[in-house]
């Protein structure tokens, strides 16, 4: 597909199917959102032409007084092929078909016609039956009113999903966790452009640092191409698969006309290729966030540094389940560390691994412990469990721990409770390259992602 750059970052778009009478029509939502909030020049098309809130609505592409790069198509399914022919004749770079009513409802003939038009004319088509493309600052074809969503944080994770609903959920959760989105690509039935085409594009996309995939199944003959491409892709790939059970397979077949395939084979093959499977949305979010912070050195053994024994115990159990080692701290090493701690906690801190600095710990104690543990040859990185409500902790602690991490060239991941007033603590970590999870389990998921990436 030669035109994906123009399709995803257009200078101008045409919206087919804008209604002159129904302000809540999906194409009207897309039209107003893009015209008012995004960079691409936006033109509405309705066969009758007309006027909408004082803005011209055009009867066809030829009437638009400017060059158009891409089309968003929201007309009835049976009209879509003719619209695509118009777009091809006008030299557009591609189309995003949000309309439903194709193979997912038994109209495989219509979907085959869309596929043939795309293939025979080297004309990329996203969809049909999808939300389409979120690609700021150029455009957003999701037919979701902005006031119903949170503002999506910009960043380096690009998500590709066969489900629009799952895609939006993941974008929101990544934003809430502090990770940013480069692009969101909802591909629906994949009549033309599928995961293989998109991974090939994203592998060279400078905006994308991590590729996240929600998979339901593969089109016939594309599974092998998918695996070979993953094997060659240098960027981290995180995937989440549905249709792993008989009931799930039936559900995805009716959803996007997918063939779910043999999950166990896919799991084993993708693991060999270096892709990381998430078993839940929370794992998926943690994996993507951790990997979006850039390349890491191999991570197999961890130090846990906490101010709460209970949090440390939970993290220890999670590390054990994830196959991450927790090296023991010798008595002699513990005594050296104890001598550097604040006098108020020297007698009460537990200095095994986890390191429990107690609720009386200060910034100084977290910094001393982090520096001491990261200096050890048998420690590859640290999980820091920070409780900002402790009286001797300040908002500067995150930036200072990040500095120690950079100096040691060893990764640190952190847990900070998800409370608005703690945003200043979180910012200190994240703006200095240390990922933050809002759960202890999530922090260990992050460490697991870094461990996997270091070995792949």
12, β-bridge pairs: 41
Rounded Cα distance, 257 and 25, in Å? 25
Q: Which pLDDT does position 2 carry in this prediction? A: 55
Give me the domains of the chain, ranges plus CATH numbers.
1-127 (3.40.50.720), 150-292 (3.40.50.261), 302-455 (3.40.50.261)
Q: Which pLDDT does position 244 carry in this prediction? A: 53
The ranges of the chain with pLDDT < 70 are: 1-2, 243-264, 454-456
pTM for this model (two decimals):
0.91
Q: Which pLDDT does position 79 carry in this prediction? A: 98
Q: What is the number of alpha carbons within 13 Å of residue 388 lying toward its C-beta?
A: 22
Instruction: Identify the helix (H) or strand (E) that includes residue 135.
Output: strand 132-135
Contact 190, 243 (CB under 8 A): no
Contact 412, 402 (CB under 8 A): yes
Q: Which pLDDT does position 309 carry in this prediction? A: 96
Q: Which pLDDT does position 255 carry in this prediction? A: 42
Rounded Cα distance, 115 and 193, in Å? 9
Q: List the one residue out of 185, 269, 268, 171 whose CA is nearest residue 227.
A: 269
């Amino acid at each position: 597909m030669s035109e994906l750059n123009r399709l995803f970052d257009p200078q101008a778009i045409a919206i087919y199917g804008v209604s002159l009478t129904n302000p809540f029509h999906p194409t009207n939502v897309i039209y107003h959102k893009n015209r008012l909030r995004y960079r691409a020049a936006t033109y509405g098309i309705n066969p009758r032409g007309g006027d909408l809130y004082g803005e011209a609505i055009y009867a066809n592409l030829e009437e638009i007084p400017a060059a158009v790069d891409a089309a968003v198509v929201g007309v009835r399914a049976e009209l879509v092929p003719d619209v695509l022919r118009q777009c091809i004749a006008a030299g557009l770079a591609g189309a995003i078909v949000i309309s439903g009513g194709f193979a997912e409802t038994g109209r495989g003939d219509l979907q085959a016609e869309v596929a043939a038009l795309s293939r025979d004319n080297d004309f990329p088509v996203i969809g049909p039956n999808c939300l389409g493309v979120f690609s700021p600052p150029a455009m957003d074809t999701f037919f979701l009113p902005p006031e119903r969503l949170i503002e999506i944080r910009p960043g380096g994770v690009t998500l590709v999903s066969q489900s629009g609903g799952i895609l939006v959920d993941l974008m929101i959760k990544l934003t809430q966790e502090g990770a940013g989105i480069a692009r969101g690509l909802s591909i629906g039935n994949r009549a033309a452009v599928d995961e293989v085409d998109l991974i090939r594009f994203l592998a060279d996309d400078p905006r994308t640092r991590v590729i996240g995939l929600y998979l339901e199944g593969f089109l016939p003959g594309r599974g092998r191409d998918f695996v070979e491409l993953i094997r060659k892709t240098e960027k981290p790939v995180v995937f989440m698969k549905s249709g792993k059970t008989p009931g799930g397979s039936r559900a995805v077949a009716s959803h996007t006309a997918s063939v779910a395939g043999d999950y166990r084979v896919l799991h084993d093959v993708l693991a060999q290729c270096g892709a990381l499977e998430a078993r839940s949305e929370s794992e998926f979010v943690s994996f993507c966030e951790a990997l979006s912070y850039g390349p890491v050195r191999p991570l197999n053994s961890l130090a846990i540094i906490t101010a709460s024994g209970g949090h440390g115990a939970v993290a220890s159990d999670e590390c054990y389940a994830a196959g991450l080692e927790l090296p023991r701290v010798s008595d002699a090493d513990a005594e050296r560390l104890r001598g550097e701690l604040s006098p108020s906690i020297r007698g009460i801190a537990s200095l095994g691994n986890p390191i429990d600095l107690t609720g009386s710990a200060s910034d100084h104690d977290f910094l001393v412990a982090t520096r001491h543990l990261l200096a050890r040859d048998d420690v590859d990185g640290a999980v820091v469990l920070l409780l900002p409500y402790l009286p001797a902790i300040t908002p500067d602690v995150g930036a200072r721990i990040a500095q120690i991490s950079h100096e040691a060239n060893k990764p640190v991941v952190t847990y900070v409770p998800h409370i608005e007033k703690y945003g200043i603590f979180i910012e200190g970590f994240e703006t200095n390259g240390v990922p933050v999870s809002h759960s202890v389990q999530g922090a260990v998921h992050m460490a697991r992602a870094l461990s996997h990436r270091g070995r792949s």
